Structure 1
């Protein structure tokens, strides 16, 4: 129930991985109900999803007015003037089993102030506005995408219907629940149609018409940890060559996203309404936009958190109907894809097995808690003086995040648990990027003399810079392979 990215990703993946002979998949959506369309930046998981669906990458980029993404640049986070990069890559191969950042820490203690970003090949490529897909046989980085969310939903609609998904146009009016089991038996549409089913996927966004309203599944509120509760978004005309990364810029009362597409730039401000009024956020957004605004800014209200059960009775919530985390790390579509892939592993064969449903809920809860901690860390580590940032710095954080930070500060190690979506390089990028330097490094980093380490790290930086400069420009790559119709980039 519901279209947009959530509905059509779910329909397409299920149709592709299950097949028409095992299930009949119907998607109900209404043209009267628009999609939010704020989340136009993604993580590399979407490239894997597209590959599973057999989507041609260049055709996809061309038809969604898309661009490529190598990571996120953070500006003014932690302190004004600070810049760091969360790349979709690591910091180079380990030496004698010791990760690069431990050698970097050793050099830093000796007075070397080289930024950790200088050891990221993805960052070296991105900062020059270059792009080319990484060699699959020697992947030095991964890539994701920026795209028009409405165009993406339409693109996936064609993919899904080609795979046998039936689409029904209609607006839901009410739901029939089975009198004995409490399961959803059918949904009723305004034109009089009745759509029965065995398993229902709620893709109705914040409305959560099935999981939240019909089945009355409680919501776990995380607004005491993730304080931002509003976003204001406005597109603008393109300003120069598109960067191969998302930019996140901190402001006094929140942060601003900049997402370059082929035909426009996506802009938005995420903020807390207790510290910043809608008018103040709107003014700050419009004052900072490069390029001509193309529409009046729209305000979205949200609460970060999740439904206590992602799968209740015979209904699975996919996307915002079951969870929402603010868009700082482009997690919206990531959580959609992860939800569908987990469902495929636990998919009912005839009847719903409560054991598999419980396992789905356990994994979903653990995964989103790990992602929540990663996002909280961005705020909690800030040293900015404004009221929002002071409130983030002084709040009580989850024990799981506290443990990660304590272990890092004591040893330079990332204490990863199960169901982690963000691995060691991602945590290192945010921790070191915000100036959180551990007290010590791995003892094995002392195996070689300091000058040998210094020379080796210098050679590594030089090779990264040389190789990155040889990569073609992002603009030229798009124009050569996947420019949208009549959209050659000047």
Structure 2
């Protein structure tokens, strides 16, 4: 069995440079890594908002958090606020931390649901430290001391994805990655086994390799155009396929959360960075026009625009095989889901770690590729279902778009989960899916589903004891949240943006 010595990454951007940085860090001197990217191809930046798992990736490749945030104009993120989704005038948050404390093996939200039936409890967000702190615009990494050590908030980041790729490219090149600028003009296939043999660039250079990683974006220069792997579209469940992005001037107060505000044909994001605010209108092109969305976004900017409108187009869905022959597609070339739950960089991260776990020999065992593809499909399908629920579970009927979403057929995996939650508030995490029960509760309850009941074992606690238990948690969380520094002050003190 011969070990792979030559890895070629086609494409830069977030996917290419995250892959290069991770492989060069973990495989070190055992593998020669070459990254080929074209200066003529722009970067699609849909990854400015992230989820907490990005911290694990940064730690894995040895990134200093403050240095990274300073270089990428980053801020901290404790969750996502959803406005006008279940119905106009309502809002809720999907926080990154837990609600309350589970008791007797039963999730806290069941005790809260019981309280809803009997009294008028505080909003569920008052029982989540991350959510409560977010609404107060407060943040700290360390929030207390326990017998097991420091108690920390569960947080992610907002950052400039283009600057993140630049930051990682510097790191990867220092770790030995060979960087070649050029456009791929031809992909040579080995006739005997159908594997990719080498890439021929427009200047005549020939880049040979044993494992090729396709980070060329939606077009899939290797996985699609060379190896002809098909694509499964999910547009009928996720009709939003376009976005208009405009950056505006920074705001004096940095919110430690992303905002997603629904509109008549999709939704609008607002992402606070140190040097600017990221704004975008996601929309379904079958229900509106780009011209309308540009005008509406420009009219609703929170500050003066600093860039011209930029349009992004995509198709929600997945590549039927992310690993085919000796090629692994990572990033947009493997599939894409609209950026509602900030999963773009997460899919890249998990693909890299999955590849490292199943890193092949030159023999390219089929079982490795099959296993990789199975887990890739499970991951993106579970997230697909989660995002579908944001659209399906709504009382909005004020536009053709929302009427379509409300009445569309959904996968059985979605309808079964909705039915289970609507009955007694039950939620189960399947196959270690990305979003856990806390995330599902935040969205299903926030969108307007009121379960008929709650877990019956909750009744083993008397009403008075239940109320006391909840009040103690609420008081503790409120006091802790109010004691934290303001997010803007924390960022300025620890990781102020450095333009250099």
Q: Is TM > 0.5 for Structure 1 vs Structure 2?
A: yes
Q: What's the counterpart of residue 119 of structure 2?
A: 111
Give the C-alpha shift of residue 240 in structure 1.
Answer: 2.3
Q: Which residue is equivalent to 2:224?
A: 212
Q: Kindly tell me: are residues 17 and 351 of structure 1, through their superposed partners in 2, closer, same or farther at Cα, counting changes over 3 Å?
A: same
* Partner Cα distance (1:92, 1:115) in 2: 12
| Structure 2 Cα separation of the partners of residues 138 and 435 of structure 1 | 36
SS of residue paired to 1:61 = helix
* Equivalent residue number for residue 378 of structure 1: 390
Residue 90, structure 1, aligned to residue 98, structure 2:
yes
Which shifted more, 475-484 or 413-422? 413-422
Deviation at 1:344, TM superposition (A): 0.7
Q: In the alignment, which residue of structure 1 is the partner of 2:24?
A: 15
- 1:388 is matched with 401
Q: What stretches of structure 2 of length at least 5 have no aligned partner?
A: 1-9
Aligned to 2:70: 62
Question: Are 2:433 and 1:420 equivalent residues in the alignment?
Answer: yes
Alpha-carbon shift at residue 350 of structure 1 (Å): 3.2
The structural deviation recorded for 1:486 is 7.1
Please report the TM-score for the alignment, with normalisation by the length of structure 2. Answer: 0.95
Output one character per residue of 1:11-63: Cα deviation in whole Å (capped at 9) or x when no partner: 11111122212x11110011221101132111111111000011000000000
CA distance in 2, matches of 1:378, 1:137: 37
Structure 1, unmatched stretches of 5+, are none
Question: Where in structure 2 are the equivalents of 1:311-326 lying within 5 Å?
Answer: 311-326=323-338
| Distance change >3 Å, CA 56–CA 93, structure 1 → 2 | same
In structure 1, distance between residues paired with 2:50 and 2:278: 13
How far off is 1:406 after superposition? 1.4
When the two structures are superposed, what TM-score results if normalisation uses the length of structure 1? 0.97
Q: Which residue of 2 aligns with 1:399?
A: 412
In structure 1, the partner of 2:43 is: 35
Per-residue deviation, 1:349: 2.4
Q: Do structure 1's residue 127 and structure 2's residue 135 form an aligned pair?
A: yes
Query: What are the equivalent positions in structure 2 for 1:34-433 lying under 5 Å apart?
Result: 34-134=42-142, 137=149, 139=151, 141-385=153-397, 386-433=399-446
Q: Give yes or no for contact 2:232–2:319 (8 Å, CA) kept in 1.
A: yes
Q: Which residue of 1 aligns with 2:452?
A: 439
Partners of 1:308 and 1:261 in 2: CA distance? 36
- Alignment: residue pair count: 486
What is the CA distance between 1:176 and its match in structure 2?
0.2
Contact preservation (8 Å) 1:228, 1:272: yes
SS at match of 1:167: strand
Tell me which moved more, 50-59 or 284-293: 284-293
Alpha-carbon separation, structure 2, partners of 1:61 and 1:440 = 44
User: CA deviation digits over 1:116-147, x for unaligned, max 9?
Assistant: 11111101111111111146945453111111
- TM-fit CA distance, 1:113: 4.7
Q: CA deviation at 1:149?
A: 1.2
State the secondary structure of the residue aligned to 1:20.
helix
What is the root-mean-square deviation in Å for CA atoms of aligned residues? Answer: 1.3
Moved more, 114-123 or 194-203: 114-123
Query: 4+ residue runs of structure 1 moved beyond 4 angstroms?
Result: none
CA–CA separation in structure 2 for the residues paired with 1:13 and 1:328: 26
**What corresponds to 2:4 in structure 1?**
none
Q: Whole-Å Cα distance in 2 between the matches of residues 485 and 56 of structure 1?
A: 15
TM-superposed CA distance for 1:288, in Å, is: 1.2
C-alpha distance in 1 between matches for 2:417 and 2:151: 28
